[in-house]
Amino acid sequence: MAVRPNIVFDLDGTLVDSAPSLCKSGNYLLKLLHRPPIDVKTYKTFVGKGMLKQVEQLLISTGGIPHTDLKKQLVLFREHYDQNPLVETTLYIGVSEALKYLKSLPAQLAICTQKAQNPARTILSGLDLEQYFDGFAFGDTLSVMKPNPETVFYSIKDFDNGPLIYIGDSETDSITAKNSNAFFLLFAGGYRNSPMAEIDHYAAFESHNEIPDLVDRILSEV
């Protein structure tokens, strides 16, 4: 292959199912506030716009932000979550196999996530994913977050020029890909809040085992 593709992955809801772990910390915060817990299905609707927004939505949905002090609640949430973000966080089936294939093309792989660096790297290393990636943009890497395309461009700043493919699971990821002029592959099993038909994408996949064929299709068209 003359030109290596640049393939950028979202993390939460795309490579890993982290909602159960995040929900656990969310319910810890709710317990401190003497509020009833919520379920993982509900919590998934909060994921995708950064942890501050996540905690904000959690609090608003359960009674409001105490004394309008959102940052204090975020600190309490992070203190619990950062202790072990791997608790109840699992890889989606076929992820490792897909990443191995993409590296063999060879492709240049990057992570672009709203999650802060410390918990994100803990997850990547703990689930043996970090080895596949050479570029990273975390939620606290830049002063901007997705869907700003600078997050994507930062994650591939050391890569050679090549076709850009973005793989994610949400509305925010779709907009990020569009803003970055990237082909967008949508994981149907992630944390999106809208029907797939309402989310702009090049193609969608139900299983990560489908990713190699979809990437090959894109590369045959460029």
What is the per-residue pLDDT across 66-107, written as a single tens digit (0 to 9) for each?
887 899 999 999 999 999 999 999 999 999 999 999 999 999
CB atoms within 10 A of CB 203: 15
Same domain, yes or no: 143 and 52: no
Q: Does the pLDDT at position 120 exceed 70?
A: yes
Looking at residue 25, which CATH number applies to its domain? 1.10.150
Structurally, the chain folds into a number of domains equal to 2
**207-219: b (≥16 Cβ within 10 Å) or e:** ebebbbebbeebb
List phi, psi (to 5°) of 160.
-70, 160
Same domain, yes or no: 35 and 55: yes
How far are the Cα atoms of 25, 67, 113, 155, 166 from residue 73, in angstroms, in the given order? 11, 10, 22, 29, 32
Q: Is residue 194 part of a domain?
A: yes
Same domain, yes or no: 69 and 113: no
Q: Which domain holds residue 33?
A: 19-81
What is the per-residue pLDDT across 158-187, written as a single tens digit (0 to 9) for each?
999 999 999 999 999 999 999 999 999 999
Q: Does the pLDDT at position 131 exceed 60?
A: yes
pTM above 0.75, yes or no: yes
